[in-house]
Amino acid sequence: MTDFERNKARVTAEYEALINRKNIVSDSYNGIYDRYVYPVLTAAHAPIIWKYDMNPETNPYFIERLGINAVLNSGAIYLNGKYYLVARVEGNDRKSFFAVAESDSPVDGFRFWDFPVQLPDTEPEETNLQALIDAEKSGIIKNGKITCVISSKEGAYALERAKNAGIGTVVIPRKEYADSKSYSEAILAELNRQGADLIVLAGFMIILDECVTKAYPYRIINVHPALIPSFCGEGFYGLKVHEKALEYGVKVSGATIHFVNEKADAGAIILQGAVDVANDETPESLQKKIMENVEWKLLPKAVSLFCEDRISIKDGKAYVDLKD
């Protein structure tokens, strides 16, 4: 037996003994509920395939490659006769991910699923901010500088992105204002205080009142994840845009960089870019394709064009000087 086989057999036996160990009621009792001797879910419950390279050629001594420091903050679910624990798993590097453990019993036998939880990005538009930050740092954006990031809610990761880049942040919670007009007035006051020359709506999903758009005509830029005038206007945002595009059977889709006016997605178009739609496309894959191939490229370009004074307006249309 090789070192790999011997060590793998030992580790596997210890792991299976832990998983199959029956929990027992502790002698400690408070008159309300039973306590059990063994913790239900621990770092030791982490699957072997998470921690070890299972290839004998690359890991001949079966050495642990990924250490698990802790399993904590579990949330319990009882569904269809089974018990599930959704837990935060922390590695030795203190980085965490979420994973699901399952058992037929509420007190023992919990075995993690093979793969961690993959959480969808609920605010993918926010990554447009990172594209702008990176573009400024690399020199793609000329004659312009991001001076402040305004968020409608505490805890938005956009604030962390900004802080990491040394950009000032302001939070104006939407929930603290009775209506759109009063909230927009607060936004306008902050924009004026900041002395904004250009406003970019990068993941800011709240429709602002006309008091803002009229105060900053042709100075507010937005990204719409479709080729305007298709799939745009009120109600078309996020995945809904891509769902409708695929429902209609489009062969090409894309994104539009446009100025913001008093109507949803009706401002002058600055730039547009397109991608082919595959036969097996999903709303999520189309969203990702458009962001990576169009939005993250054209949004910084549009900002730079504005800052270089290479966008002119005539009869409500935007004309762009694309000559280098």
Q: Give the integer Cα–Cα distance in Å for 289 and 276.
A: 9
User: Catalytic annotation on 224?
Assistant: yes
Structure tokens at 262: 């008093």
Contact 158, 126 (CB under 8 A): yes
Structure tokens at 39: 């913790």
Cβ neighbors of 321 (< 8 A, separation 6 or more) are 305, 310, 311, 312
Cβ neighbors of 13 (< 8 A, separation 6 or more) are none
Closest C-alpha to 137, from 162, 118, 157, 155: 162
Structure tokens at 160: 């962390």
Q: Give the integer Cα–Cα distance in Å for 62 and 45.
A: 18
Cβ neighbors of 200 (< 8 A, separation 6 or more) are 132, 220, 221, 222, 299, 303
Looking at residue 247, what DSSP letter applies? H
Q: Give the integer Cα–Cα distance in Å for 65 and 60.
A: 12
Contact 91, 69 (CB under 8 A): yes
Q: Cα 237 vs. chain centroid, distance in angstroms?
A: 16
Contact 46, 90 (CB under 8 A): no
- Residues that are catalytic: 224
